[in-house]
């Protein structure tokens, strides 16, 4: 998980940091740098200042010498003065170069330069399927912490990392939802869950995982073979039902999916089943007939919870699909499947922020137990760039 993204972000941060840290004091970019440049370009001005101070010191020393006249040899007095002049010169130089070093170590980045630098990171995020709105948020946050502020070159790396981590944590800010807890708290039975998603996204597989989870939580289950469109969809869910020892309600291929769902709920009511899990057809999310069909299921069946199944590996497309399904049919939560084969992770980062829907679980394999809770802290840990 995030293997590719993590690497890319790391590389981008390194490049930006290197560019800021090693960048020479640019001529005429910043006021404070300009001042120092002037000083460097005109050492005569500095020398003049030291000379003035030295002559003051000489005057002072001469007075002291006069007071102690007779005690010291003239040559020794001159030597002493020379030493003090040198000391003074050294102190002046040290102070000046110390200050200059500080100025060089601190940089201010303006908006234009920031946009140029952020491009590295933008590219890394785009390559890893992170949605444009999410990139804009990350960019805005980073801009706030870095632009037009004195930034120590040695701290650029940690400032970028801190800002990125905070942005990503904000992205996961949607309140967590525990589906099993919701089912248990709902007194009315059966609790009806309908699953939406495009063909091959993992609906049927995920339904079997949720059924398994329900059984492990002492909740009885019935499955509805609502996908009467896709070839072999009915046989697939029947096989999963057999494996779980759970009843599957089905009609013929081409039958009205709402009728199948209706019969499944009826079966649950007459057999005192706790949870109804309804499969539906996928086809294309842009298919108007499909959306009509799904809306009809929702209208007639009135499910307690609608879950959208999204394939993590298709990245931003999964986010767009989720938005379409939510607008057209309405969804309450999302399960992201195939995260075990997704090395980019852009969908995981973008999904919650853009849809404002909770991610319930992550599908992490083809087995019945390959269902993980979505844990933002765990995500951040995995993303430890």
Kindly tell me which of 170 and 373 has the beta carbon lying closer to ligand GDP: 373
Q: Which stretch binds ligand GDP (CB under 6 A): 150-158, 192-200, 327-335, 350-358?
A: 192-200
Helix (H, G, I), strand (E, B), or coil: what is residue 371?
strand
Question: Is 363 near ligand GDP (CB under 6 A)?
Answer: yes
Near ligand GDP in 296-355, by CB under 6 A:
337-338, 340-341
| Whether the Cβ atoms of residue 307 and residue 196 lie closer than 8 Å to each other | yes
Question: Is 200 near ligand GDP (CB under 6 A)?
Answer: yes
Residue of 11, 145, 161, 199 that binds ligand GDP (CB under 6 A): 199
Q: Which stretch binds ligand GDP (CB under 6 A): 76-84, 107-115, 141-149, 197-205?
A: 197-205
Q: Which stretch binds ligand GDP (CB under 6 A): 105-113, 133-141, 247-255, 361-369?
A: 361-369
Kindly tell me which of 17 and 129 has the beta carbon lying closer to ligand GDP: 129
Tokens 């940091």 belong to 17
Near ligand GDP in 203-232, by CB under 6 A:
203-205
Tell me which residue of 168, 274, 279 sits closest to 226, measured CA to CA: 279
* Closest residue by beta carbon to ligand GDP: 363
DSSP 104-156: HHEE-B-HHHHHHHHHHHHHHHHHTT--HHHHHHHHHHHHHHHBTS-EEGGGH
Q: At 254, which helix (H) or strand (E)?
A: none
Kindly tell me which of 140 and 367 has the beta carbon lying closer to ligand GDP: 367
Tell me which residue of 91, 85, 79 sits closest to 58, measured CA to CA: 85
Question: Is 364 near ligand GDP (CB under 6 A)?
Answer: yes
41 phi and psi angles, rounded to 5 deg: -70, -25
Residue 297 CB, nearest approach to ligand GDP (Å): 16
Q: Which stretch binds ligand GDP (CB under 6 A): 43-51, 123-131, 199-207, 324-332?
A: 199-207
| Structure token digits, residue 353 | 């922020």
Q: How many CA atoms lie within 13 A of 279 on its CB side?
A: 36
How far apart, in whole angstroms, are the C-alpha atoms of residue 198 and residue 175?
26
Residue 375 CB, nearest approach to ligand GDP (Å): 16
Helix (H, G, I), strand (E, B), or coil: what is residue 76?
helix
Question: Is 202 near ligand GDP (CB under 6 A)?
Answer: yes
Residue 134 CB, nearest approach to ligand GDP (Å): 23
Kindly tell me which of 9 and 334 has the beta carbon lying closer to ligand GDP: 334
Give me the numbers of helices (H) and strands (E) for the chain, helices first please.
15, 10
Sign of the alpha-carbon dihedral angle for 101, 104, 105, 108: positive
Residue of 366, 369, 378, 384 that binds ligand GDP (CB under 6 A): 366
Residue 370 CB, nearest approach to ligand GDP (Å): 6
Which residues contact ligand GDP by CB under 6 A? 197, 199-205, 282, 337-338, 340-341, 363-366, 370
């Amino acid at each position: 998980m995030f293997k590719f993204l993590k690497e890319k972000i790391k590389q981008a941060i390194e490049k930006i940091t290197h560019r800021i840290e090693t960048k020479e004091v640019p001529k005429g970019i910043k006021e404070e740098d300009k001042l120092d440049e002037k000083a460097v370009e005109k050492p005569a001005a500095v020398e003049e200042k030291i000379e003035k101070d030295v002559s003051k010191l000489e005057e002072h020393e001469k007075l002291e010498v006069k007071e102690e006249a007779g005690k010291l040899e003239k040559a020794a007095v001159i030597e002493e003065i020379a030493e003090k002049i040198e000391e003074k010169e050294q102190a002046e130089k040290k102070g000046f170069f110390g200050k200059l070093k500080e100025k060089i170590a601190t940089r201010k980045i303006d908006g234009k330069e920031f946009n140029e630098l952020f491009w590295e990171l933008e590219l890394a995020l785009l390559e890893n399927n992170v949605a444009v709105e999410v990139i804009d948020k990350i960019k805005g946050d980073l801009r706030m912490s870095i632009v037009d502020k004195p930034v120590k070159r040695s701290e650029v790396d940690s400032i970028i990392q801190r800002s990125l981590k905070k942005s990503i944590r904000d992205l996961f800010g949607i309140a967590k939802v525990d589906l099993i807890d919701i089912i248990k708290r709902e007194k009315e039975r059966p609790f009806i869950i309908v699953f939406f998603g495009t063909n091959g996204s993992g609906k049927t597989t995920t339904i079997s995982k949720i059924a398994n989870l329900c059984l492990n939580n002492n909740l009885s289950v019935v499955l509805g073979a609502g996908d009467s469109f896709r070839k072999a969809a009915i046989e697939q869910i029947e096989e999963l039902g057999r494996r779980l020892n759970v009843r599957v309600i089905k009609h013929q291929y081409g039958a009205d999916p709402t009728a199948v769902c209706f019969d499944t709920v009826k079966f649950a009511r007459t057999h005192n089943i706790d949870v109804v899990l309804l499969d539906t057809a996928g086809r294309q999310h842009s298919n108007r007939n499909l959306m009509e069909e799904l809306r009809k299921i929702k209208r007639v069946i009135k499910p307690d919870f609608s879950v959208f199944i999204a394939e993590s590996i298709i990245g931003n497309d999964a986010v767009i699909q989720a938005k379409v399904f939510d607008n057209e049919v309405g969804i309450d939560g999302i399960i992201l499947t195939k995260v075990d084969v997704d090395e980019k992770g852009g969908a995981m980062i973008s999904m919650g922020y853009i849809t404002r829907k909770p991610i319930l679980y992550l599908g992490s394999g083809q087995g019945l137990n390959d269902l993980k809770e979505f844990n933002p802290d765990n995500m951040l840990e995995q993303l430890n760039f």
